Chains A and B, each alone.
Chain A
Amino acid sequence: MYKIAIASGKGGTGKTSVAVNLVNRYQKQIQYVDVDVEEPNGHIYLKPHWHVKKSALVDVPEIDDHWCTLCGKCKDACQFNALAVIPDKGVMVFPELCHGCGACLLACPQKAISDTSRLIGKVCLGVSDVKNSIKIVQGVINEGEAKSPPLIKATKKEISDDTIAIIDAPPGTSCPVVDSVKGADLVVLVTEPTPMGLNDLKLAATMSIKMGLPIAAIINKTDITDFPDTEHYLKEGGIPILMKLPFNRNLAEASAAGELITASSKLFQGYFDQCWENLLGLLEQQKGVIGHETNSRS
């Protein structure tokens, strides 16, 4: 089933508000996948009942001094400066810099390096108390841990193919976001009509396009400024607009109270239902195009 990533570039545009209200308005089984692992917060709205918590581990090298000749091939192979060779002493490992790529293991002519693992966070699985058709997956990184991509990958492994998955990505366009949106059928970019919103929207759109991922947009807080450039940019680039949400005090109050606006407001139920229609229409249309392309190639 479809994997839909909600990303933004700029922080604070409303990714999580959009994601949780979308899952709330879906009428069948759906998965909400929070990969904003440094500060996951979708649970505040969806109020999960956790039933599984799994440890997330990354590989780090362990060097056997008995076999190590201090040749330094391991540190030369390491692209992340995670190893240092101290002459006559040994090889020093800096686990916080290690990406777990395994290059040092391959480079070691003595086979003196083995993998050991390090706990970086956890992946929690649960069901929403708001609606039991919403399954929740959430990655939580340990405090002080600098590299989230391995945990994001571990969190995404829990995505089930049987239902639609809404993936709530972190802001920005760096490695954690790249890993969050990778493999998505559609990246929905939530933006706001401000110069900063547009600047970061362009970055996120460029990133997704470079990754070969189809994109669409949601403009949030449409009436906070008179800034038509955002919509111009989307129209010129042929990026479909799935929804335009006006600024609304009730929504802000519901958000601040940790409540879903679509639980109480008919107006917003309407917005999100229409958004689903547009979203599914777009995905079906894409599938048609891809199917057609495959047919014409064969």
Chain B
Amino acid sequence: MKLAVSAKGPKLEDPVDPRFGRAKWIIVYDDETGNFEPLDNAVNYNAAEGAGIKVAELVLNNHCQAVITGYLGPKAFRVLSAADIRGYVNAKGSVKEAIEAFKNEQLPETSEPTVKGHW
């Protein structure tokens, strides 16, 4: 399964970015092969509005089945749930640690946005 982790840098050792839409990087991690690919999210990071929507599209176009992040806003959540992508929140520490926490079922899956939208 492919996971998308919001991150502050392009490496597995970099810290998780708790923000999804405004994360600097999205790391796509394949939990079967252990391979990963960092996606530069600079365009969406700087978007005036709708960053969450664009990142959710990025994630679904990269065929990820789950998102690991700190929290999810309402617009990103709408796109992800329409595409049947699961959202796991409250991720902390490095990307690697967050993936471990996910594998150990320590991250809660959310069935609704965990924060309000902002402008």
Which residues of A approach B to under 8 Å, CB–CB?
A: 75, 80-82, 84-87, 89, 92, 94, 96-97, 146
CB of A86 within 8 A of CB of B83, answer yes
Q: How many angstroms between the C-alpha atoms of A94 and B50 in the bound complex?
A: 9
Interface set, chain B 23-60, CB cutoff 8 A to A: 47-51, 53-54, 56-57, 60
Q: A92-B78, A94-B75 are in contact. Are A84 and B53 (CB under 8 A)?
A: yes
CB of A86 within 8 A of CB of B82, answer yes
The residue on A at minimum CB distance from B78 is: A92
Contacts of A82 in B (CB 8 A): 50
CB of B78 within 8 A of CB of A97, answer no
Which residues of B approach A to under 8 Å, CB–CB?
A: 47-51, 53-54, 56-57, 60-61, 75, 78-79, 82-83, 117, 119
Query: Given A81-B49, A89-B83, 5 more contacts at CB 8 Å?
Result: A81-B47, A84-B79, A87-B60, A94-B78, A97-B49
CB of A81 within 8 A of CB of B53, answer yes
CB distance from B42 to the nearest CB of A (A): 15
Q: How many angstroms between the C-alpha atoms of A87 and B50 in the bound complex?
A: 19
Contacts of A86 in B (CB 8 A): 60, 79, 82-83
Q: A81-B54, A84-B56 are in contact. Are A89 and B82 (CB under 8 A)?
A: yes
CB of A92 within 8 A of CB of B54, answer no
The residue on B at minimum CB distance from A88 is: B83
Contacts of B49 in A (CB 8 A): 80-81, 97
Q: How many angstroms between the C-alpha atoms of A87 and B59 in the bound complex?
A: 12
What are 27 of the A-B contact pairs (CB < 8 Å)?
A: A75-B57, A80-B48, A80-B49, A80-B50, A81-B49, A81-B50, A81-B53, A82-B50, A84-B54, A84-B56, A84-B57, A84-B79, A85-B57, A86-B60, A86-B79, A86-B82, A87-B60, A87-B83, A89-B82, A92-B78, A92-B79, A92-B82, A94-B53, A96-B117, A97-B50, A97-B75, A146-B119
CB distance from B82 to the nearest CB of A (A): 5
The residue on B at minimum CB distance from A89 is: B82
Q: How many angstroms between the C-alpha atoms of A212 and B97 in the bound complex?
A: 56
Q: How many angstroms between the C-alpha atoms of A81 and B49 in the bound complex?
A: 7
Contacts of B57 in A (CB 8 A): 75, 84-85
The residue on A at minimum CB distance from B48 is: A80
CB distance from B58 to the nearest CB of A (A): 11
10 smallest CB-CB distances across A and B, nearest first, come from A81-B50, A86-B82, A84-B79, A86-B83, A97-B50, A84-B53, A81-B53, A146-B119, A84-B57, A97-B49
Contacts of B78 in A (CB 8 A): 92, 94
Contacts of B61 in A (CB 8 A): 87
Contacts of A94 in B (CB 8 A): 50, 53, 75, 78
Q: How many angstroms between the C-alpha atoms of A84 and B57 in the bound complex?
A: 7
Q: How many angstroms between the C-alpha atoms of A81 and B82 in the bound complex?
A: 17
